[in-house]
Amino acid sequence: MSIDIPNLDDLTYEQLIDELVRSIPNYSSNWIDFNQSDPGITILQLISWIGESLLYQANSISDQSYYNYLKLLAGTQTYRPNDRYQQALLAALEDWPQEIKPELDQCGQPRSYPKARTQAQINEIEAVAQAYWQVNNRAIAEVDYYSLGLEAYFQALAELTHPSLTLTDDQLQYRQQSLEDLQALRRLFITTQSHLSPSSTQQWIEIVVNIAADLPTVITQAEPSQAPEVTTLINSIKNFIVPRRPVGTLIKVRPAHYTKIHLRVEVQITTGSNSQTVSQAIQQQIDHYVSSVSGGRNNTGWPLGEPLISFDLIHLIGEVNGVEVVIKIELQGYQFVQRSLSNKPTLPLPKDQWLITRPIAKNNPSEKKWATIKHSDASSSNPIAFDDFIIQELIGNVQATVKIKEPILNGI
């Protein structure tokens, strides 16, 4: 939005004197001579002349006022990645010529005052201030955290992947987009978290960064959260938002938690199909379905914390060209930690234990049990069938071992 500056010089000398004369009967019924020869009218004329001069001075903005306003608007600190709107304000301040006067300040140094600017220069400064004012530059509402966080994310990503790349304004207009459009980018997830203690309740805003969207190879590392690229992205977002948040608001920025999945898929292919081609197509279909950006049932990105359901995978793989029937899908490379006959384990699970919870499917529904399992790098000789597989936040790498069963030929 634009800044509406009120016009204080909205009364002329004639309007002032007319208003004063018309108000005389409200204060005295004996004053009936309103001619200019009347001494009282002469005093009112003097007051109107002074009033017009005061209105003109009040309505004018001095160069010192412009300079002080820019200082207040721009702030005193800059953070990486640099805010181009703030940089334009700081540049206007640095380019403003100063005039040294003989009087001393409190530190005993000569005082400096901004020199007068032409009207054209003032108009340029106003345009810079308006550009800064028209975008979200403070983190107040949810849309502000998304827009500021995404701007910092993509600027830092550009520096990581293309250090010589300069992003244009069209590539960074996140502060003028709707909340729905920003959420659809699937790079950030913003939630409000709270931690209860015996004596107090502490709440904070948590910004979860989906690093797999643009740095998919990072999540394959043993400790993806400690990768230099991830550290750079997290710090860039934090340093950009923290100084713009309300005082006292707690901010936490971290990468998303990714669940690695190993599947064993057994299918029967149609006559004439190539087993290797079908296996590759199944892997591609699964990768697209679990994508954090374009996956899920609606192709809008895998929902945060959405469980992976075996029935959906069976239906998905069954649509692959060359697949006659999906025989079974199992979890490969997992081992049991504990079982619970009736009670569902409490979520979320401890982060340092990398535990995943899901219900064990039995032939008899009444025997359905909850089990806590964890991933194991060693191949399991006893794969686990599942109804749904609970994902802590997002799905990382999915490795599908496909077993091909050749088609049954009639008469052979």
Two tokens at 281? 């197509």
Verify that 229 and 250 share a domain, yes or no.
Answer: yes
pLDDT at 109: 74
Verify that 36 and 147 share a domain, yes or no.
Answer: no
- Dihedral of CA 331/336/341/346: which sign? negative
Verify that 129 and 227 share a domain, yes or no.
Answer: no
Instruction: Spell out the per-residue pLDDT of the chain, length 412, in tens.
Output: 445 667 767 788 898 889 888 888 888 888 888 888 888 889 999 998 998 888 877 776 777 777 787 777 776 555 444 567 777 888 888 888 877 777 766 776 777 778 877 878 888 888 888 777 766 677 888 998 998 999 889 888 888 876 655 555 555 578 778 899 899 999 999 987 765 555 556 788 999 999 999 888 888 877 888 889 999 999 999 988 988 888 788 899 999 989 888 899 999 999 889 999 999 999 999 999 999 999 999 999 999 888 888 899 999 999 999 999 999 998 888 777 776 655 666 655 554 445 555 566 555 555 556 677 777 766 666 788 887 888 888 998 898 999 998 876 655 4
CA distance to 62, 338, 356, per residue, from 350 (Å):
61, 15, 10
Cis bond upstream, residue 81 (ω within 30): yes
Count the domains in the chain: 4
User: What does the alpha-carbon distance between residue 261 and residue 57 come to, in Å, rounded to a whole number?
Assistant: 72
Label each residue of 110-155 as H, E or C: EEEEECCCCHHHHHHHHHHHHHHHCCCCCCCCHHHHHHHHHHHHHH
Length of the chain measured in residues: 412
Verify that 270 and 370 share a domain, yes or no.
Answer: yes
Verify that 78 and 177 share a domain, yes or no.
Answer: no
Decide if 385 is inside a domain: yes
Question: Which residue, 224, 255, 286, sits at the end of a domain?
Answer: 255
Question: Which residue, 26, 44, 59, sits at the end of a domain?
Answer: 59
Q: How many CA atoms lie within 13 A of 335 on its CB side?
A: 7
Instruction: Domain of residue 83: give its range.
Output: 63-100+114-133
Verify that 232 and 310 share a domain, yes or no.
Answer: no
Decide if 6 is inside a domain: no
Decide if 167 is inside a domain: yes
pLDDT at 81: 47
Decide if 203 is inside a domain: yes
Verify that 331 and 315 share a domain, yes or no.
Answer: yes
User: What does the alpha-carbon distance between residue 209 and residue 258 come to, in Å, rounded to a whole number?
Assistant: 11
Contact call for residues 228 and 211 (beta carbons, < 8 A): no
Nearest Cα to Cα of residue 286 among 255, 256, 257, 262: 262
Verify that 276 and 194 share a domain, yes or no.
Answer: no
401 by Cβ neighbours in 10 Å (0-12 / 13-18 / 19+) ranks as middle
Report the phi/psi class of residue 322: left, alpha or beta, with left for phi > 0 and alpha for psi in -120 to 50.
left
Q: How many CA atoms lie within 13 A of 208 on its CB side?
A: 18
Bridge partners of residue 371, in order along the sequence: 339, 358
CA 408 distance to own-chain centroid: 54
Verify that 361 and 235 share a domain, yes or no.
Answer: no
Two tokens at 291? 């994508």
User: What does the alpha-carbon distance between residue 154 and residue 177 come to, in Å, rounded to a whole number?
Assistant: 15
Decide if 412 is inside a domain: no
Question: Which residue, 210, 238, 255, sits at the end of a domain?
Answer: 255
Verify that 278 and 390 share a domain, yes or no.
Answer: yes
Decide if 106 is inside a domain: no
Verify that 355 and 315 share a domain, yes or no.
Answer: yes
pLDDT tens-digit profile of 21-44?
888 888 888 888 888 888 888 999
Verify that 78 and 128 share a domain, yes or no.
Answer: yes
pLDDT at 79: 47
pLDDT at 198: 58
> H/E element holding 412?
none
Decide if 383 is inside a domain: yes
Two tokens at 257? 């938690």
- List b or e across 99-134, with b for residues whose CB sees 16 or more CB atoms inside 10 angstroms: eeeeeeeeeeeeeeebeebeeeeeeebeebbeebee
Decide if 8 is inside a domain: no
pLDDT at 391: 84
